Amino acid sequence: MIENITGFGDLGYTQNDASQTAFIVRQIMNGMATSAPVKVMAVHSGDSGYTVDVQVMVNQIDGKGNGIPHGTIHGLPVKTLRAGTCEIRIKPRVGDKGVVSFCHSDISVVKKTGAIGNPGSRRKFDWSDGIYLGSFHADGEATSVIEIGDDDNVLIKSPTVALQASDLVDIAGPVTTDTEYRVGGTKVVGTQQGAITAPTGGSTIDSQARTTINAILNALKGHGLIAS
């Protein structure tokens, strides 16, 4: 009678000392966390930025090849594009599919202090020492987009874009809008209005008033507020 035996190796690993050593090394390497696709399970905000709880998307398997889902990894810092006090930040969403890179050593001290320091323990390539790098898989069309096309033009698409400038907003070049400009919620400039005919004729002529009115009309035309 032949008994079926399952495991993580095959007969090739039992031939000699070298093959047995290769199997042991392979098993050790299988325990090293390097990088993995993950699903975001929760998002948290903190003083030093966002952290996420994630689940690795590629299951573990037993000797028979049965899938064993990973548990949740908590509190992984989220990568942002930052230099000094300048930062471009995207808040992850629950359900995002992204990539985590796992570090060589325990990064718990660095995460806590933000400074150079010794590893918090002697663990290596551990699931706890990951950094979430961002999403790689989309589940539908994005509603907010910043895109640089192959023509070098920049597209910003979003339901609302808010600019909060403590000094000024400096724009070099023309600005085009399909609707109107507002200040403090009040419309100040909208679409161009029709032409206004300059005053002519009449029984009583006030030349000074007509000069002023014509100057106002010319100014409105010059700024494009009324048609010529």
pLDDT digits (tens, 9 = 90+) for 139-171: 888 899 999 999 999 999 999 999 899 999 999
Distance CA 53, CA 40 (A): 6
The pLDDT value recorded for residue 1 is 43
Residue 107 has pLDDT above 80, yes or no: yes
Task: State mean pLDDT over 89-116.
Answer: 95
Looking at every residue in the chain, the average pLDDT score rounds to 89
Distance CA 100, CA 138 (A): 16
pLDDT digits (tens, 9 = 90+) for 1-33: 444 444 566 666 677 888 888 888 887 888 889
Query: What type of residue sits at position 8?
Result: F
- What is the fold of 31-137? OB fold (Dihydrolipoamide Acetyltransferase, E2P) (2.40.50)
CA torsion 152-139-91-87 (nearest 10°) is: -20
Distance CA 108, CA 194 (A): 67
Domain map (residue ranges) of the chain: 31-137, 174-222
pTM for the structure as a whole: 0.75
